[in-house]
Amino acid sequence: MNKIKCVLVEDEVPAMDELQFILDKYDDIEVVNKFYDGKTAFSFIRKELADVIFLDINIPVLNGMKLAKLIKEFNEDIAIIFVTAYDKYAISAFELMALDYILKPFDESRIGKTIQRIRKYMQSKENNISNIEDEIEHIIKKYDKKSVSSINKIPCINNGKIMLIDTGDIFFCYIENDKTCVKLDNKIYTTTNTLSEIEEETGFFRTHRSYLVNLNKVTEIYSWFNGTYKLIMNDINKSEVPVSRAHVKEFKRRVHI
């Protein structure tokens, strides 16, 4: 297991020395640097890898609370451990998502509990990274499979014949009488594909459980009742397509409104 890299920020030399003395007893903890003011500490943290910051609050130039906020804005995964002689900052500390809050004078058994908390935090980070890597691998495999099999056409039925329709010509797809319909500019076909299958192949946006839309074909958007929207399509009929409340948030994100 890699060592947990720690930075100490403390303006009192005796307290700094005592904290390092305690931390040095743990084989998996490595103090990579020490600082006596917040500004110098932040300059280092921005450039060098650190897992945990042991941080006093009353430090010069840049106090501990401001420094913690800057660190979290820079990298929210860095764990903050406040070390202070005052308990009045505890609520503010945890609002900044501090991992722990240690009061001076230091107690070795109390710091031992902090080390256990740090270990659990680091393990959870490793597990999360592993899950993300698995998800990325899944997406890559899915993309590779689609890149081989997809031909950017949807098979549609017209007068008993199967026609391959370019996805770029499709305005939207919808369900009517248990059938999947494909709307072109001035024609409507049916297909044996489900909306979910079309969504996976095309990247069209699901605005409603019964509608799938090619967002490139939307010409107007307006608010409807109860927080829903209506879309005006750019087809010859100026068709209207609903956006249900369940899909509004993601729709607004997709079209940047």
Of 147, 160, 155, 148, residue with least CA distance to 173: 155
Convert the pLDDT of each residue in 12-32 to its tens digit.
999 999 999 999 999 999 999
Q: Is 96 helix (H, G, I), strand (E, B) or coil?
A: coil
Q: Please say whether the beta carbons of 99 and 81 come within 8 A.
A: yes
Residue the block writes with tokens 């490139």: 216
Q: Please say whether the beta carbons of 68 and 80 come within 8 A.
A: yes
The token pair that represents 101 in the structure block? 């809050």
Query: Could you give phi then psi for residue 229, rounded to 5 degrees?
Result: -130, 160
At residue 90, the pLDDT reads 67
Domains, in order of start, for the chain: 4-131 (3.40.50.2300), 153-255 (2.40.50.1020)
What does the DSSP assignment read for 50-64?
-SEEEE-SS-SSS-H
Q: Is 183 helix (H, G, I), strand (E, B) or coil?
A: strand
- Greatest Cα pair distance in the chain: 88
Alpha-carbon torsion angle 195, 200, 205, 208, nearest 10: 30
At residue 114, the pLDDT reads 94
Share of the chain above pLDDT 70, in %: 87
92 versus 111: the higher-pLDDT residue is 111
Handedness of CA 65, 69, 75, 80 (dihedral sign): positive
131 versus 242: the higher-pLDDT residue is 242
Q: Which of 47-56, 75-84, 130-139, 178-187 has the lowest mean pLDDT?
A: 130-139
Rounded distance between C-alpha atoms, residue 224 and residue 247, angstroms: 13
* Average pLDDT of the segment spanning 219-247: 91
Rounded distance between C-alpha atoms, residue 237 and residue 83, angstroms: 68
Asked if residue 148 has pLDDT above 70, the reply is no
